[in-house]
């Protein structure tokens, strides 16, 4: 099976600092990865689509300068929350689509970010 | 914006009962998926349906895709405490990369 990992699984940071979250496809190559945000007891909200070697596509209302996405290789995408504030506290989930397969996305276990 | 509305939002039942979760949209989807998510974890894919009217069974779970490919349902027979979780439908439209998630149904099955 395809495995997607996220690191860290949880992080607590002070307001104003930046936090980087990694998403890795462990046993397959992923040209496209997706970043989602989930508030407590709510569904997943797509933040951006990350394509290897090109700029990410952000959903409406998501600040690209605040949520920096880098997809430098076929197995790694990173999301950096810059100048984090308490309202950025959330559960961030990535998913990866295997190169050549457009139907299936494999989801990571999520990263819980708490900003104090 | 494509919206997928799920109902009910929350369901609390006793072990052994049957239940149905609905996923409705005004948009047509080329495929629709159902996921189950437990607290603090990522969603896990249960099934993908692609053909209008398609019915798929996964043990005690039965999934149906509407004839017009705008809606879907998930039926659980003889629910067990292990079925507890957040159930999410997600649709993909032809030509679009992204998956649109439904509003979610939180299921609690008590022993």
For chain B, 111 residues long, give each residue's pLDDT as a single digit of tens.
568 999 999 999 999 999 999 999 998 998 999 999 999 999 999 999 999 999 999 999 999 999 999 999 999 999 999 999 999 999 987 766 788 899 999 999 999
The contacts of residue A101 (CB under 8 Å, 6+ apart) are none
Angle at A106 between CA A104 and CA A108, to 5 degrees: 160
* Residue B66 near residue B52 (C-beta atoms within 8 A): yes
From the list A110, A93, A95, A79, the residue with the least C-alpha distance to A25 is A95
User: Using the beta-carbon criterion (under 8 Å), do A46 and B100 form an inter-chain contact?
Assistant: yes
DSSP assignment letter at B9: S
- Residue A86: strand, helix, or coil: helix
* Residue B34 near residue B74 (C-beta atoms within 8 A): yes
How far is Cα B29 from Cα B54, in angstroms, rounded to an integer? 13
> Across the strands, what pairs with A36?
A46, A93
User: Using the beta-carbon criterion (under 8 Å), do B43 and A93 form an inter-chain contact?
Assistant: yes
Q: Give the gap in angstroms from C-alpha A83 to the nearest C-alpha of chain B.
A: 24
DSSP assignment letter at A31: S
Q: Give the gap in angstroms from C-alpha A59 to the nearest C-alpha of chain B.
A: 10
- End-to-end, the C-alpha distance of chain A in Å comes to 37
Q: Which residue has the higher pLDDT, B31 or A100?
A: B31
- A-chain residues within 8 Å CB-CB of B101? 36, 43-46
User: Using the beta-carbon criterion (under 8 Å), do A34 and B102 form an inter-chain contact?
Assistant: no
Lowest pLDDT segment from A38-52, A95-109, B3-17, B39-53:
A95-109
Classify each residue of B95-107 as buried b or exposed e, where b means 16 or more C-beta atoms within 10 Å of its C-beta. Answer: eeebbbbbebbbb
pLDDT at A102 over 70: no
Q: What are phi and psi of B83, to 5 degrees?
A: -80, -10
């Amino acid at each position: 099976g395809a495995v997607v990992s996220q690191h860290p699984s949880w992080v607590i940071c002070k307001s104003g600092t930046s936090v980087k979250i990694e998403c890795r496809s462990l046993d397959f190559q992923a040209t496209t990865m997706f970043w989602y945000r989930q508030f407590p007891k709510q569904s997943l909200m797509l933040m951006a689509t990350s394509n290897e070697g090109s700029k990410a596509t952000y959903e409406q209302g998501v600040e690209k300068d605040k949520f920096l996405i880098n997809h430098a290789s076929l197995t790694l995408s990173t999301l950096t929350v810059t100048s984090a504030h308490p309202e950025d506290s959330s559960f961030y989930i990535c998913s990866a689509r295997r190169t050549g397969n457009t139907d299936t996305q494999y989801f990571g276990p999520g990263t819980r970010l708490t900003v104090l | 914006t494509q919206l997928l509305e799920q109902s009910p939002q929350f369901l609390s039942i006793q072990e052994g009962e049957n239940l149905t979760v609905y996923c409705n949209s005004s948009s047509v989807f080329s495929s629709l998926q159902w996921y189950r998510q437990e607290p603090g974890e990522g969603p896990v894919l249960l099934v993908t349906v692609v053909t209008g009217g398609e019915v798929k069974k996964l043990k005690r779970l039965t999934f149906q895709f509407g004839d017009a490919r705008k809606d879907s349902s998930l039926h659980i027979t003889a629910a067990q405490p292990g079925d507890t979780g957040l159930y999410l439908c997600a649709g993909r439209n032809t030509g679009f990369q992204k998956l649109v998630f439904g509003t979610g149904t939180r299921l609690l099955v008590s022993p």
